[in-house]
Amino acid sequence: MSSSFSTPSGACALPDPNAATRDGEAGDAGEAPLPAALVSVRPTRLGGPARGDEEWVAEEVPIALEYNGLSHAVMLATPLDLEDFALGFSLSENLIGSPADLLDVEVQTRPQGVALQLRVTARCELMLKERRRTLAGRTGCGLCGTDSLDQVFRPPSRPLAPLAVDREQLIPVLSRAMRELSEAQPLQQRSGGIHAAAWCSPAGEVLMVREDVGRHNALDKLVGALARAQVDTAQGFAAVTSRASFEMVQKAAGAGISLLAAVSAPTHLAIRTAQACGLTLAGFVREGRATLYS
């Protein structure tokens, strides 16, 4: 895959040891830089002593996904890990059947935002033309672009293998994962406005993290990163810093992830979907406790 990345003046450069390559690296001369993931502002604080210090806030940028020149979706997202996002979104939305169907990704900065030019196989292009739609995504949207009820429920392409963790060990494992996840979010630590999704070992060790203003985007980025790294998703689980919605469960199950741990509550549709897929769903994972819903 080809890409063009650079860090603009004033951007918050945050290292991530989990990623081999990240959006924000130097691009070719003359190319427009990507927007920063965080932006410095000087707000006026009301109440308490007057302060004039700067504050970091999360950037939210329209990200257009164009497949073989066909405009497909516009999502609002953090302009970081965009190749992971392109692959993860394509897999999660069933736009491609495997990572091999995505032949190339080119990141283009435009005055209005960022365009991801995705080149896919002829088979996938034909499928996209048959269900072509243009949509405007928003932060945290669930079923953006779904135009019929038949498209809502997509069972995983293969049965989910249960994670080998004893019930007695589940609380220590999940607690470790959430603790390490909170320590592995540099954007969240600076801005306080970012979600994250983590890939964890069966022991709860956080191995990979992706951040975004949107919880669905963070999970898509994680799914893409796992696919690019050819990680066996039967050998771990995912932890997210959000509620567990239907879409989050479906994205996890579609990626072959058999356990999803969320810091907040699930929805009833998420629970029913997890039960139907054979996915273990844990909610309210915090402070040494968790609630199992499936």
- The annotated binding site is made up of 284-289
Dist. CA 8–CA 13, nearest whole Å? 10
Number of other residues whose CB lies within 10 A of the CB of residue 92: 21
Contacts of 197 (CB under 8 A, 6+ apart): 209, 210, 215, 218, 219, 221, 222, 238, 239, 240, 241
Q: What is the identity of the amino acid at 185?
A: Q
Distances from the Cα of 114 to the Cαs of 34, 64, 78, 235, in angstroms?
8, 6, 10, 34
**12 assigned to active site:** no
State the CB neighbour count (10 A cutoff) for residue 166.
7
Return the residue matching tokens 């019930």: 167
* Residue of 124, 141, 144, 200 marked catalytic: 141
For residues 141-157, b (16+ Cβ closer than 10 Å) or e, as one string? beebbeeeeeeeebebe
Q: Tell me the residue type at 1.
A: M
Comparing CA positions, the residue from 129, 121, 68 lying closest to residue 98 is: 121
What is the residue type of 265?
Answer: A
* Residues contacting residue 115 through CB under 8 Å, at least 6 positions apart: 63, 64, 66, 107, 108, 109
Q: Which residues are catalytic?
A: 141
